Amino acid sequence: MQKHIVVMGGGPGGYVAAIRGAQLGAKVTLIERHKIGGTCLNYGCIPTKTLYKNAELLNTLSHIEDFGIAVGSVQIDVAKIQSRKDEVVRQLVGGIEQLLEANGIDVIEGTASFVSEKTVKVTKEDGESFEITGDDYIIATGSSSAVPPFAGTNLPGVVTSKELLEFESIPEKLVIIGGGVISMEFAGIFSAMGSEVTVLLRSDRFLREVDSELTKRFGATLKKKGIDLHKSIDNMEIIQTVDGLAVKGDTKKGEVLFPANQVLLSTGRVPVIKGLNLEAAGVAYTKKGITVGQHFETNVPNIYAIGDVNGIIMLAHAASHQGIAAVEAIMSIEHKGNHDVVPNCIFVFPEIAGVGITEDEAIEKQIEIKKSKFMFGANGKALSIGEPEGFIKVISDMNDVILGVHIMGPHASDLIHEGALAITKKLTVDDIANTIHAHPTLGEAFAEATLGLKGEAIHMAPPKVKKETKR
């Protein structure tokens, strides 16, 4: 008898789960209340990376004379930028819709909520509702922007990332509250487009998931690009002023005031659980998300939760692979994916990417490690393309098994996958060293950094031997 899988949410977790279910012979119904592709394709990953390309070009043009090229004044056409962004999104969303149709998936527009563990109610935009009964359910409703608990967040000009993506003009002064990935990506994008950008943190650290050696170096690059970063600001509130907006807060030196035309709230994301009526199905959850097991099953046998809604790791590619794992569990197929090794890419200038253990985590967990770094300034390809900033850092255990790879530099988001494969397959320094890396490429920097763990890097000066003090 054919299984009927009902997927609630059409983002990168939900639509991938739906397609995998159809591939394995299940009847699949996908319920999406807004747009196929979810936040990632419509309001996150894809539109921001499209804007990132604009910023990348503007950064190149700012020193284009280094390449022996002279250009006139640069003009920004916001309408054209928005048109291109929207077209990229439309093309990708349209492609996914065609894939769903080609796989025979029944797509329903509406909001789903549980009636029981076997039945959901779907409410359409016009208020019409009906019920669907399935064999198994996959909750993939994603997350939404968290709104910080201080005054002024509802003032005109105070926006989340979703609203900021629809900008009609470049804000002269943009204040960003928060120090996570979204904050830093928008800071780089709008700084390149001419905004005076200020980033405010309530804590003393930003990009917490990144190895601190990278964030220390990246903090210096922010200053070079004119982005002001202020840490440890307490009692923040947003106020209306004669000239627009301002963010007020307290520091050890007293009260501070940061004027702005727009304020971006970027203080994290929260799982979309409200409205699912999980109680009717008996599904357990906390503020962090829906509680799941090894195969992303909830405490109710036929209900699974994948992606941001389970709060494990809020990355689109993690959601997709969790969706595949959940479907394969439903269809009684052994899933061979590794959900512990998840690369994280941050599209800033220069790019940052990491996978596996950081040095900070190793110290905290008292894990004995070796580490090596190779600077992009010593890499021929990086110099040729004019992007020598940054380095690759590789961490291994004492037996030379690779445990972590962390990159700040050109095309870090492309280079990180060799590191992810190395960690997943428990490769050693010799495994990488014995694999020929093409020249001239950025990938050579990974090989050199890895060789450095054994003191065998060719294009890196050998470590200095400390001289013994005569007694």
Task: State the catalytic residues.
Answer: 439
393, 373 contact by CB (below 8 A): yes
Structure tokens at 21: 């279910």
Q: Is 164 exposed, middle or buried (0-12, 13-18, 19+ CB in 10 A)?
A: buried
The owner of tokens 């530099």 is: 409
DSSP for 419-454 reads HHHHHHTT-BHHHHHTSPPPSS-THHHHHHHHHGGG
* DSSP label of 208: T
Number of other residues whose CB lies within 10 A of the CB of residue 23: 13
| Helix, strand, coil content of the chain in percent (nearest 5) | 35, 25, 40
Structure tokens at 317: 């590619």
CA angle 64, 65, 70 (to 5 degrees): 90
Find the distance separating the first CA and the last CA of the chain, reported in whole Å. Answer: 85
Q: Is 21 exposed, middle or buried (0-12, 13-18, 19+ CB in 10 A)?
A: buried
What ranges in 286-437 are assigned the alpha helix state H?
316-330, 359-364, 380-384, 412-424, 429-433
The owner of tokens 């840490």 is: 231
